[in-house]
Structure 1
């Protein structure tokens, strides 16, 4: 991995000059800036997040580095407002192409802590954030190394949704989800596979980027198979609603022709005209509130750094009108 020293050598400048370019100093001429940037690009050099981390003063703000914001699930409770903290929100998406830049931008904002709902299972950013000493809590995601997180038991949730559809007489059940390097989709797919067992087919599993357009492509592919499914477990309510809308536009009846189960119990799923069957978590407060409250505790109590929070919430099924007995 290239260092700033390597960049300086390639560009023919001093290491302090490289640092000034990285930090946006105006005391560097344009030609030198261009040489340094070109050297960074050639060496695939990324500035160390630790070196650019937050200063030790409180700014009374926290950052939410979110999963895809087209999913209504990714929102925080007002608990941050009650505690006098502002929220700085950035959408890092799911595919990772923007993530590094998003992390760097967040650190430049000098927030007091981070709620993180876009981290991958083996994301290298985890160690860098740990070393930066910035308090952070993962929300609806977890890293394989542990850390502070609140999540639902995704494997159990996937099995719960799939077993519900099996109990209704369906054996041809498809799974539509997001990238499986995210703990949420990895666990939900694992639960689906275990519940379906030998009845499962790889052609019924569709991994998408979670956008409506990609979900629609997945649905059309499923309908075109030799054995189209009679039921779909969509790994989020947002994707389930996209499935339902597309199928209904094509003339399919829900649940008479295709049953659908989502996950998250977002407000739209409860709409009287939709009544989406879904899976949610058993708890006295929203998942995001767990994350915000613990993050505020870490920020306000320096000695709390060693108090790791690892909460896995039990799932529960909410059966509504979008799932029914197989005809």
Structure 2
């Protein structure tokens, strides 16, 4: 409908206003105009045919003096062709065509040569600009699709890491303790195995939820895998419980109404804290851990500090730290990870003023 309306407007302004020299010329003019508009309408499905039909009809009308159209209708079809199939902004045939137009103008009669030259030059500009704009639109669409696919891969990698890293890290620590501590009696061993079983079941349940969400095409759910109604205090208490079961003495300090935070911020606090605890269990060789979450009127502060061995050569960021930085950045926050003589410290500041209502995926 938009193409048809544009075609009618061009015909009304640049075709009908040109008076033919004889009565029969009006019918020829209308027939050529109808053919040009038909080609324009077909440009969405058959762009090559549309360019040929519209260009031929307009060219014949120009030669017969029946239109003042500088190939605007043809330019629209050229744009559609370039948008669908164009790869080079200035293909050889375009340069050759413009050269032919300019050279052919030299052979025109002296009478009205300047006016015809201006018309040919304007037509060349219209057609060239239409092609360039079409190719640029196609390239922008391809780049946007590539960025979208990359962002989707990063989001999926974060979600899979969140699902498996914490629980599998805890399972690994518990299994290592059960395998190497010879003083465990049968009751303690059964408790360890039950904890391992529970962690495995929780991981499978979350992974099932993630896969179901991906198959259902609802990957844009803002709350990620965390239920939007989940209390942050409960989630943090579960994280502490997992850490203590793995043998890490953990203290949880909460300040402010953290359960009333926006859902995206709650998810970020939960995932950052969970990943920091996982890193302490797997890499820090720590014996104790302090988790502090402080909510104020304008921001939320997170600090996770362990007493492990630190890192003499500095912090090396893997998938976990990269995922934490991405999650914090999505809600406009800042993450800092430091390693000193007394272990690792993970701190994050998440703003509440102007926080997105969508959330971190």
TM norm structure 1: 0.25
Structure with the higher fraction of residues in helix conformation: 2
The higher-RCO structure (CA 8 Å, 6+ apart) is 1
TM norm structure 2: 0.24
Q: Flag the structure with larger Rg.
A: 2
Structure with the higher fraction of residues in strand conformation: 1
